[in-house]
């Protein structure tokens, strides 16, 4: 098994997860008061962890994204980027699972209500976080922002990145501030084709259509380095299997063990995976095993709390990391700090991410979800 693990990378990753769980517990009353009710606890557990995995991916590379070369340390293991891409792919699988499950349970879907609900769920926090990113970039550009790149970037931000832009405000590159938002384009595309998926599901040719989709996935994965839509298909298949198959405790235990093994391999494997065929197979097998096994560990209320604030963690952690390290640069030479100091600053950002995410969940996400 060609994998790479170190005691350091494992300890750091587990520490980050533990700190997120700890500080979300400190906000237990506030989060649970605004808690979103879901049918599937194991989905909640996965969603919460996936958001933390994305943070783990970005934390080691914040100096590089800021354009700072550290002379004390420079090498990272594979576990950090592997966790990040795995977390994003799990988000895609979860979206496919939940919305196809909704289609199966709702014969007469009210599509106007559906799309209104999606806009209210996704857009307010996205535009809030985009406004924060814009203001941060303006500040560090000394407000010298009146140029073509800024206008094109604003157009891109306003359209959820459907319009390509240079991702630059003034002279500030936005990569360390909002590089996660590219995934929302794929989410919106999936929402857009859901009515067609509903028609296909209720067609007498649904099995043939599913087989065709699987073949197209195999073809796309064989010729493209980055394939995202296939993970929504994994979620759809998982929803169908979850509805039709009931696992015994023994089989659930075997599937949970298999999922854990796939996860460990995926995080440590040294070959570049990204969104290619190997990663698709690994992530899909993991998600299908979890869906069928429904492991109780993912029902933990601490993970459920992380799930509630996961969208906020996803969008807000990069601006918080950016400001945290910019503030640290006022007191430290970031090009010469030790690895211990570097990770200490990252860990100090987690309480800020958690508290800000709790506030944005309660006062932005939840508020607009309630509006008619």
pLDDT, position 1: 46
Q: Angle, nearest 10°, between helix axes 206-223 and 182-201?
A: 150
**CB count in 10 Å sphere of residue 142:** 10
Whole-angstrom distance, CA of residue 92 vs CA of residue 159: 20
Whole-angstrom distance, CA of residue 72 vs CA of residue 53: 25
Which one-letter DSSP state was computed for residue 269?
Answer: B
Q: Name the burial class of residue 166, with classes exposed (0-12), middle (13-18) and buried (19+) by CB atoms within 10 angstroms of its CB.
A: middle
The H or E element containing residue 168 is strand 168-169
337: phi then psi, degrees, rounded to nearest 5: -70, 155
| Residue 233 Cα distances to 20, 181, 192, 274, angstroms | 30, 21, 14, 18
Whole-angstrom distance, CA of residue 177 vs CA of residue 6: 29
Q: CA dihedral defined by 300, 254, 5, 341, rounded to 10 degrees?
A: 0
Q: Name the burial class of residue 15, with classes exposed (0-12), middle (13-18) and buried (19+) by CB atoms within 10 angstroms of its CB.
A: middle
Whole-angstrom distance, CA of residue 10 vs CA of residue 261: 15
3-state secondary structure of 91: helix
pLDDT tens for the chain, 372 residues long, are 456 678 888 999 999 999 999 999 999 999 888 877 778 889 999 999 999 999 999 999 999 888 898 888 876 778 899 999 999 999 999 999 999 999 999 888 999 999 999 999 999 999 999 999 999 999 999 998 889 999 999 999 999 999 988 999 999 999 999 999 999 999 999 999 999 999 999 999 999 998 999 899 999 988 888 899 999 999 999 999 999 998 888 899 999 999 999 999 999 888 767 898 989 999 999 999 999 999 999 999 999 999 999 999 999 999 999 999 999 999 999 999 999 999 999 999 999 999 999 999 999 999 988 765
- How many contiguous H segments (helices) and E segments (strands) does the chain have? 17, 2
Rounded to 5 degrees, what angle do the CA atoms 86, 343, 267 make? 20
Q: Could you tell me what percentage of the chain is helix, strand and coil, using 3-state DSSP and rounding each to the nearest 5?
A: 75, 0, 25
pLDDT, position 39: 80
SS3 letters across 114-160: HHHHHHHHHHHHHHHHHHHHHHHHHHHCCCCCCCHHHHHHHHHHHCC
What is the pTM assigned to this prediction? 0.95
In the chain, the N- to C-terminal Cα span, in Å, equals: 53
* DSSP letter for each residue of 189-202: HHHHHHHHHHHHHT
pLDDT, position 151: 95
Whole-angstrom distance, CA of residue 191 vs CA of residue 113: 13
């Amino acid at each position: 098994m060609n994998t790479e693990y170190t005691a350091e990378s494992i300890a750091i990753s587990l520490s980050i997860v533990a700190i997120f769980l700890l500080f979300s517990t400190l906000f237990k009353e506030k989060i649970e008061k605004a808690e979103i009710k879901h049918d599937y606890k194991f989905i909640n557990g996965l969603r919460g962890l996936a958001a933390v995995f994305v943070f783990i991916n970005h934390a080691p590379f914040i100096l590089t994204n800021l354009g700072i070369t550290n002379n004390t340390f420079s090498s990272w293991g594979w576990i950090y980027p592997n966790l990040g891409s795995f977390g994003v792919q799990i988000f895609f699988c979860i979206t496919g699972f939940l919305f196809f499950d909704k289609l199966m349970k709702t014969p007469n879907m009210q599509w106007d209500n559906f799309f209104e609900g999606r806009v209210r769920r996704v857009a307010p926090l996205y535009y809030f976080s985009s406004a924060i990113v814009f203001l941060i970039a303006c500040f560090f550009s000394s407000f010298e922002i009146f140029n073509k790149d800024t206008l094109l970037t604003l157009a891109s931000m306003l359209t959820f990145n459907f319009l390509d832009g240079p991702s630059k405000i003034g002279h500030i590159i936005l990569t360390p501030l909002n590089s996660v938002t590219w995934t929302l384009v794929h989410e919106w595309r999936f929402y857009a084709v859901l009515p067609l998926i509903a028609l296909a599901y209720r067609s007498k040719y649904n099995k043939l259509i599913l087989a065709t989709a699987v073949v197209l996935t195999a073809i796309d994965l064989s010729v493209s380095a980055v394939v995202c839509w296939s993970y929504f298909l994994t979620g759809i298949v998982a929803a169908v299997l979850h509805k039709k198959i009931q696992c015994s405790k023994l089989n659930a235990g075997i599937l949970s063990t298999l999922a854990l093994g796939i996860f460990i391999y995926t995080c440590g494997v040294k070959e570049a995976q990204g969104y290619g065929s190997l990663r698709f197979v690994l992530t899909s097998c993991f998600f299908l095993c979890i869906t069928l096994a429904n492991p109780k560990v993912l029902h933990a209320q601490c993970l459920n709390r992380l799930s509630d604030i996961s969208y906020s963690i996803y969008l807000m952690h990069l601006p918080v990391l950016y400001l945290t390290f910019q503030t640290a640069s006022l007191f430290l030479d970031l090009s010469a700090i030790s690895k211990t100091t570097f990770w200490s600053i990252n860990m100090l950002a987690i309480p800020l991410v958690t508290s800000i995410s709790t506030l944005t969940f309660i006062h932005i996400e939840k508020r607009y979800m309630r509006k008619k």
